[in-house]
Amino acid sequence: MQEPFGRARVYLTILLLSEILLGLAIIIVTAIYQRILGAYMADVERKMLGGQFFNTYILGFQLMVVYACSIAMWSSLWSRRCSPNVNLLLNLWMFFCFVVVFCGFGTIWSLITCADALENTAEMSLLKGIDLYYTCPEWKLLWDGLQYHKECCGVHSYKDWMKASWMPAEATECQSASSETALAPYACCKHTCATCFENYIPRTDNSRIPYLTLSQINTEGCLKLFTNKMWEILYVLIALVLIAFKLDLLICCLAKYIIRKQAEIDCCTCDNDACDDDDGRPMVVVKCPTTRCVKFDGDEGGNPQVACKVGRSHGGMSEPCTCCSGDNMLRGYTVKQEVLHMSTPSPTQCATRFCNCSAGGGVGGAGGANESRILH
């Protein structure tokens, strides 16, 4: 196949490589997405989260494999001529590429529709973690790390800690009397507030640890940060799939343009009027390559001559014609076109025009008419 314009092969390879990089980017973004959201969940919820993102990993892997194989396929096709088999292969390839990209839209759509369910799951999981804060070390470590590194407190706000099942009722009543105090873990303290951490230093007089003030702790809930981060990464995944879809359109348009140009160059396409004879029967124009005459028989000396069928022969030897001489056989000649008339009722029967040679010194009784068939 010939390039329809300069560096067509290079441009097509760049587009295919871009699709491979997009598949790799989708896998990386999904892994980051899962890691960030998994920080808000326990081990059981993290495993469920991995199952929801499995289709997204498959999408990125499909893009990488399909377009890597496409580069190898196109490298092989550039050295071949245009043919119906090549046309069929490219059409099936373009259809499969569109199927892969549309599966990507389905994957992203499933993530968007499950976003609310994922948010509710995270909310219920975090509220359960507050109730298990002092009885389950896993949840205590998770909440302390989450609130300290994300600089948040509670699920919706710091007040979620005062609604815990283990919180004494009298402590809640005392706190409600003053709106400037709060009951919360020390992980809710602001990083810039040194006095907040000093409240937890053991005292010699066994006095009660004082309440924290709202100016010392982070009051924003952690669920809001979870939701914002979830939608940010979802938008990134949507953008990557849209870019993959646009690149796929460019690749398919370029492939169709290459197919059409190759059909004009290699397959000698013509309109319907030019392919019908006077009787309205369709004709097929066949482009024949350079050929040489083939030896049917040889003389007694073994000289390479081409024998033609004649009415009579001398001594069982056929007589060569002028156009199929030994010199012509060695030199070779080109048959430019050979027209096959295909009858409409029976397409399998066709009449082919052969080379008819007339020898000047014809054999007596043969009428001077010799027929030479050219094999390709």
Percent of the chain with pLDDT over 70: 60
On whether both 106 and 231 belong to a single domain, the answer is: yes
- What pLDDT shows up at residue 22? 92
- What pLDDT shows up at residue 178? 54
Q: What's the chain look like in SS3? A: CCCCCCCHHHHHHHHHHHHHHHHHHHHHHHHHHHHHHHCCCCHHHHHHHHHHCHHHHHHHHHHHHHHHHHHHHHHHHCCCCCCHHHHHHHHHHHHHHHHHHHHHHHHHHHHHHCHHHHHHHHHHHHHHHHHCCCCCHHHHHHHHHHHHHHCCCCCCEHHHHHHCCCCCHHHHHHHHHCCCEECCCHHHECCCCHHHHHCCCCCCCCCCCCCEECCCECCECHHHHHHHHHHHHHHHHHHHHHHHHHHHHHHHHHHHHHHHHHHHHHCCCCCCHHHECCCCCEEEEEECCEECCCCCCCCCCCCCCCCCECCCCECCECCCCCCCCHHHHHHCEECCEEEEEECCCCCCCEEECCCEECCCCCCCCCCCCEECCCCC
Residues near 115 by Cβ (< 8 Å), separated by ≥ 6?
A: 230, 231, 234
On whether both 296 and 262 belong to a single domain, the answer is: no
Of residues 154 and 47, the one with the higher pLDDT is: 154
Of the candidates 242, 244, 238, which has an alpha carbon nearest to the alpha carbon of residue 22?
244
On whether both 372 and 229 belong to a single domain, the answer is: no
Asked, for residue 57, whether it belongs to a domain, the answer is yes
Asked, for residue 218, whether it belongs to a domain, the answer is no
Of the candidates 122, 110, 111, 108, which has an alpha carbon nearest to the alpha carbon of residue 225?
122
216 confidence band (pLDDT: 50, 70, 90): confident
Check: pTM over 0.75? Answer yes or no: no
**CA 1, CA 78: separation in Å to the nearest integer?**
5
The maximal CA–CA distance of the chain, rounded, in angstroms, is 142
Of residues 6 and 319, the one with the higher pLDDT is: 6
On whether both 258 and 279 belong to a single domain, the answer is: no
Q: Provide the mean pLDDT of the chain.
A: 71
On whether both 230 and 307 belong to a single domain, the answer is: no
Q: Is the pLDDT of residue 133 over 70?
A: yes
Domain count along the chain: 2
Pairing assessment for the beta strands 337-342 and 333-334 based on DSSP bridges:
unpaired
Asked, for residue 335, whether it belongs to a domain, the answer is yes
125 confidence band (pLDDT: 50, 70, 90): confident
In terms of average pLDDT, the best of 203-207, 237-241, 251-255 is 237-241
Q: Is the pLDDT of residue 106 over 60?
A: yes
- 266, 289, 317: which is the final residue of a domain? 266
The residue-averaged pLDDT of 247-275 equals 69
- 266, 284, 300: which is the final residue of a domain? 266
329 confidence band (pLDDT: 50, 70, 90): very low
Asked, for residue 181, whether it belongs to a domain, the answer is no
Domain that holds residue 293: 272-376
- What pLDDT shows up at residue 114? 84
The residue-averaged pLDDT of 327-336 equals 38
Of residues 356 and 259, the one with the higher pLDDT is: 259
Q: Which amino acid, residue 198? A: E
On whether both 93 and 57 belong to a single domain, the answer is: yes
On whether both 94 and 64 belong to a single domain, the answer is: yes
Asked, for residue 82, whether it belongs to a domain, the answer is yes
Of the candidates 134, 165, 147, 138, which has an alpha carbon nearest to the alpha carbon of residue 223?
147
On whether both 236 and 375 belong to a single domain, the answer is: no
212 confidence band (pLDDT: 50, 70, 90): confident
Residue 342 CA to its chain's centroid (Å): 43
Asked, for residue 212, whether it belongs to a domain, the answer is no
Q: Which amino acid, residue 307? A: A
On whether both 239 and 277 belong to a single domain, the answer is: no
Of the candidates 74, 73, 71, 64, which has an alpha carbon nearest to the alpha carbon of residue 104?
64
Q: Is the pLDDT of residue 139 over 80?
A: yes
- 266, 297, 319: which is the final residue of a domain? 266
Q: Is the pLDDT of residue 39 over 60?
A: yes
The residue-averaged pLDDT of 120-129 equals 88
Asked, for residue 147, whether it belongs to a domain, the answer is no
On whether both 312 and 327 belong to a single domain, the answer is: yes
Q: Is the pLDDT of residue 49 over 60?
A: yes
Asked if residues 329 and 292 have their Cβ atoms less than 8 Å apart, the reply is: yes
On whether both 278 and 368 belong to a single domain, the answer is: yes
Asked if residues 269 and 284 have their Cβ atoms less than 8 Å apart, the reply is: no
Asked, for residue 298, whether it belongs to a domain, the answer is yes
* Ramachandran angles phi, psi of 29, nearest 5°: -65, -40
On whether both 259 and 278 belong to a single domain, the answer is: no
Residue written as tokens 């799951």? 121
Asked if residues 33 and 113 have their Cβ atoms less than 8 Å apart, the reply is: no
